[in-house]
Amino acid sequence: MTKLDTLNVREFIDTRRFGRYQLLVTAMCALVVFLDGFDTQAIGYVAPAIVKTMGIARSTLAPVFAASLVGLMLGALIGGPLSDRFGRRPVLLCGMVAFGLLSLATAGAGSVQSLLMLRLLTGLGLGCVMPNAIALTSEFAPERVRATAVMVMFCGFSLGAALGGLAAAGLIREYGWQSVFIVGGVLPILAALYLAKALPESVRFLVAKGGREEKVRHTLARIDPGFVAGPKTRFIADGESHKKFPVAQLFAGKRALLTCLLWVVFFMSLMDLYFLSNWLPTVINDAGISVSQAAVITAMLQVGGTVGTLVLGRVFDKVSPFKALAAIYFLAAAFVVAVGMSTHSTLLLVTSIFGAGFCVVGGQIGANALAAKSYPTEIRATGVGWALGVGRIGSILGPVVGGFLINLQWDMRHVFLIGAAPVFIAGLAAVVIAAAGGKGREQ
């Protein structure tokens, strides 16, 4: 039993082991991003079926892809600052309910125009969820395993996206493309009901905002059952403040260069990720592979991302993280080129897509973790949210550029040669961050 007059909650968490309670919080956040991944990738998996059912040209869906990502961008830009003011938990839960209801509504879309509007609104809810899941996981994990915790949690997104592809193949075949959105709407609403009771607020956020000592005591006791704070204990958090922290704080002190380069990394990485995830099923189908098989093969992108995340988490906690991130992105560029050169062999195509997922998805999840580690509690969700928001601009352009290249009737080799450029640029930005002394620590 320990009794202190003043207790720094950051040091408290950093000096304790990563116990069952933190693991539970990580698992709950993983469930959140699992459902996020399922719904975010759903439109890519059902695209070939929508094209056939509605009798439209493939390029007609490019604005739908873009609308969904515009919603994700706006949700991230708005949701991050909101959660730094009102809390990670309420914004996350509201986002889940919103995208669940709107996914259900998407199942009833009868035209491209209604599909576009519903995916835009769904994206708003999805965009609010991710920065908060990242911030919560980061703030409950000790510094020594923080990148690992965030990346393992984020495996939920890759698993959700991958299983979404596997599920979509069967659901579309048996019940039509609408069934994918029905499943993607019911599950997050049920999960939100559970999380409303089980998911805690970040203890570091509670301390930074002040006036919630009983909740802080309760949460610290869950983290370390052997710890008891004295009745007069004053809780503090490094850099705590009760002032508003506008986006300008992302550029305060020594954070300006880091913030700008992180935005480049996120922009380029997400541009490539959504180029691949949205157009791979259609491009593979055009190469003579069935719709259901194309969905399964494309799912290897997220399977590779899951494996990459599990492998890379400890790497980022043990070595210079931004140097490692740069190396992963350079390797990603090579695998993306290989995808375009593998049309003659299903085995090579699957292997190349797996490798691209390992590096592109793994690298993006690593960037999420490093962004969370690089900002203090008071602006963490804003920092992550705005990095994701800027990145979403790239993710909007990715499918649009892909549609433009496909309309030019380019073969896969040239399409994916161009597709390798963004992750190569992301690697260069990570090199500059490392050279400037970026260590993936709170600035």
- Centroid of chain to Cα 267: 13
Number of domains in the chain: 1
Cβ(26)–Cβ(313) below 8 Å: no
Cβ(370)–Cβ(244) below 8 Å: no
DSSP 302-326: HHHHHHHHHHHHHHHHHS-HHHHHH
CATH classification at residue 291: 1.20.1250.20
Query: Residue 154 belongs to what domain range?
Result: 8-435
DSSP 371-429: HHHHS-HHHHHHHHHHHHHHHHHHHHHHHHHHHHHHHTT--HHHHHHHHTHHHHHHHHH
Q: What backbone torsions phi and psi does residue 432 show, to the nearest 5 degrees?
A: -65, -40
Domain annotation covers residue 353:
yes
Domain annotation covers residue 138:
yes
Domain annotation covers residue 426:
yes
**Which residue is it, tokens 């409303």?**
196
Q: What is the pTM of this model?
A: 0.78
Domain annotation covers residue 102:
yes
**Which residue is it, tokens 């968490």?**
13
Q: What is the token pair recorded at 210?
A: 């002040």
Domain annotation covers residue 442:
no
Rounded CA separation 27/17 (Å): 17
DSSP label of 292: H
Q: What backbone torsions phi and psi does residue 108 show, to the nearest 5 degrees?
A: -95, 5
Q: What is the pLDDT along the chain (443 residues), one digit of tens a residue?
A: 444 578 888 888 888 889 899 999 999 999 999 998 888 878 777 887 888 888 887 777 878 877 887 888 899 888 888 888 888 999 999 999 999 999 999 888 878 889 899 989 998 998 889 889 998 999 899 988 888 898 889 888 878 877 877 788 788 888 888 888 899 899 999 999 999 999 999 888 888 777 678 888 888 889 988 887 777 778 887 654 545 556 878 888 788 999 999 999 999 999 999 888 877 877 777 767 777 777 778 888 878 888 888 888 888 888 888 999 999 999 999 999 998 888 778 888 889 999 999 999 889 988 988 888 888 877 888 888 899 889 988 888 887 788 788 778 777 788 888 889 999 999 999 999 999 876 555 55
Domain annotation covers residue 188:
yes
Domain annotation covers residue 2:
no
3-state SS class at 236:
strand
Domain annotation covers residue 237:
yes
Rounded CA separation 295/167 (Å): 9
